[in-house]
Structure 1
Amino acid sequence: MGQGVGKKTGKDMTKPDKPTGKSLELITSSTNPQIKALKTLERKKGRREQNAFLAEGARLIEEGLSHGWKPQTVICSPDGLERTFVADLISRAEDQGARRLLVHERLLSQIARKDNPQTLLATFEPRQLTLADIPPQHTKKGTLLALYQVRDPGNLGTILRTSDFAGVNGVILIGDCCDPYSFEGVRASMGSLFAMPFYSASETEFLEWKAHQASPMIAASMNGTTPHHEASYGEANLIIMG
């Protein structure tokens, strides 16, 4: 009672049935199991348990689809469906296996934890890349950026965005870094999370990997004496910050 749609049994409540035509029912209650499941994505535990993270807005979702990330669910309000670009994105996501969820507009703010949410949200499957996934050519030419224990997700998202703009080959997250898939990290990346590959490693894994790399390692330090534009860079570089 008060759940907005009929009860379902025997299947994952986070994956709504794919709609046909205009038969999709509008979810209006925050107690609906699918809405409750989406709300858990605000926490790292929820993202891990559901193997999903949230992207907000048509621009971010378009970036995710264009870069081949796997969409799981697209969530929109009835007003959003009236926009051609949004409707086209939903169709693209559904073609890639996503399910559509039609919700009352006030539920979007509860899911995204924002007072003025976007009219379109989507969940994507996260990627878990390690140092073994770094393409060999990316260690021989260009720049890799290594981040040591970055704790602020907004800063991490901004670094991913800046790295994307600067043409960095990839970002290595060393040690106990914050979760790039947090709401704050995804927002701050402004879509670059989907474009910039990032790899996770422990301190030991990173040091063992670096021992087999020929590229020089350049560290950014508050106590450094050489300005970044005067440093000696090679054809391949590894810059470490923390």
Structure 2
Amino acid sequence: MNDFREKGGPRRVGQVKEITSLANPVIKDIKLLAQKRHRDESGSFLAEGLKLVIDALDLGWTIRTLVYSKAGKGKPLVEKTAARTVAAGGLVLEVSDKVMSSMTRRDNPQMVAGVFEQRWSPLGNVRPQKTETWVALDRVRDPGNLGTIIRTADASGASGVILVGECTDPFSMETVRATMGSVFALPLVRTSAEDFLRWKKGSGAKIVATHLAGAVDYRTIDYREKPVVLLMGNEQSGLPEELAREADALARIPQAGRADSLNLAVATGVMLFEARRHILSLDGKN
């Protein structure tokens, strides 16, 4: 497993290493995080932006490497974040703008990025409580959709996101960008359809699935009687029959106009905030 130590020597904790060469082996390792295979092998991912890095540290995520461009040198928040990284045993790199652009694959990159350890929650540890809402996504394929859903789930007060089957990687750069930092705020779970259905039977949760054949208007469902898991299908094919038939309610979102379906992230947002509206009504906040 690659832990971004300097090749040929120990990590120089407490020092800032200045790098201007694209051929530096540490930079090459970080650039490889654009590939899922290397993210999986290293258990790491790259997040861009000073605020995202600070939020992740505040939430207890493990940082392996902090990278900042020369534009960040001397800025108090950057220096404070660098000190926190060193205190946590991480490596701090000051790089040229050219190097930062190559790592982030952007022409105008953020001045700070961080390499963090991935974090997954076991499905068996998920025990939804009353008034909680979780999102379960079956084979979501688009990184932008997944990132937007994670961000929306965070904004709506949802408790976490469950990825069912072969989903796109929530720790890809595209998805992390789309979450706007919410990837650090919510538990992420990955599981198979079979294990999800076994978990469902003992979870005590109500599974509400959106489906083109759904007979129930999503606004008429009671989201308050039990914890709710909103089960959303694949962008192209929707929910497979083995998942749809196990749902406690098949919901539809009435639509006008010529469109016969909604974007997955939009549909998930509609469902999340309807569930939130019902839950808030328990406290008279609606």
Q: Indicate the residue corresponding to 1:9 in structure 2.
A: 8
TM-score w.r.t. structure 2 length?
Answer: 0.75
Q: Distance in 1 between matches of 2:202 and 2:180?
A: 34
Aligned partners of 1:217 and 1:100: how far apart in 2? 45
User: By how many angstroms is 1:169 displaced?
Assistant: 1.2
Superimposed CA distance per residue, residues 21-49 of structure 1 (whole angstroms, 9 cap, x where no aligned partner): xxx44211111101111110001011112
- 1:212 aligns with 202
TM-score by length of 1: 0.88
Residue deviations 1:179-231, cap 9 Å, x none? Answer: 00000110000010000111111111101111112222110123324332221
Map 1:88-237 to 2 at 5 A: 88-134=80-126, 136=127, 138-233=128-223, 234-237=225-228
For the residue of structure 2 that corresponds to 1:171, the secondary structure is: strand
Structure 1 residue 10: Cα displacement: 4.8
Equivalent residue number for residue 3 of structure 1: none
Distance 1:212 1:167 in 2: 23
Q: Would the aligned equivalents of 1:139 and 1:213 in 2 still touch at CA under 8 Å? A: no
Partners of 1:10 and 1:93 lie apart in 2 by: 20
Q: Quick one: distance in 2 between partners of 1:105 and 1:82?
A: 16
How far apart, CA to CA, are the structure 1 residues paired with 2:166 and 2:154? 22
| Contact 2:204–2:226 (CA under 8 A) maintained in structure 1 | no
Q: What's the Cα RMSD here?
A: 1.6
Letter in 1 for 2:228: N
Question: 228-237 or 58-67, which moves further after superposition?
Answer: 228-237
Among 73, 84, 87, the residue aligned to 1:81: 73
Once residues 139 and 222 of structure 2 are traced to their aligned partners in structure 1, the CA distance between those partners, rounded to angstroms, is 26
Quickly say closer, same or farther: Cα 1:8–1:238, change in 2 above 3 A: closer
1:232 to partner: Cα distance: 2.1
Name stretches of at least 5 consecutive residues in structure 1 with no aligned partner.
Answer: 1-6
Residue 7 of structure 2 contacts residue 25 of structure 2 at CA under 8 Å; is this kept in 1?
Answer: no
Partner Cα distance (1:83, 1:10) in 2: 30
Partner of 1:38: 30
How many residue pairs were aligned?
227
Residues 96-126 of structure 1, C-alpha deviation per residue, up to 9 Å, x if partnerless? Answer: 2221011111100100111111111110000
Closer/same/farther in 2, CA of residues 117 and 167 from structure 1, 3 Å limit = same
- SS, match of residue 202 in structure 2: coil
Identity among equivalent pairs (%) = 39
* CA displacement 1:57-105 (0-9 Å, x = unmatched): 1011111111111000001122212221222222222222221011111
Unpaired stretches in structure 2, ≥5 consecutive residues: 1-5, 234-286
Q: Residue 237 of structure 1 aligns to which amino acid in structure 2?
A: V
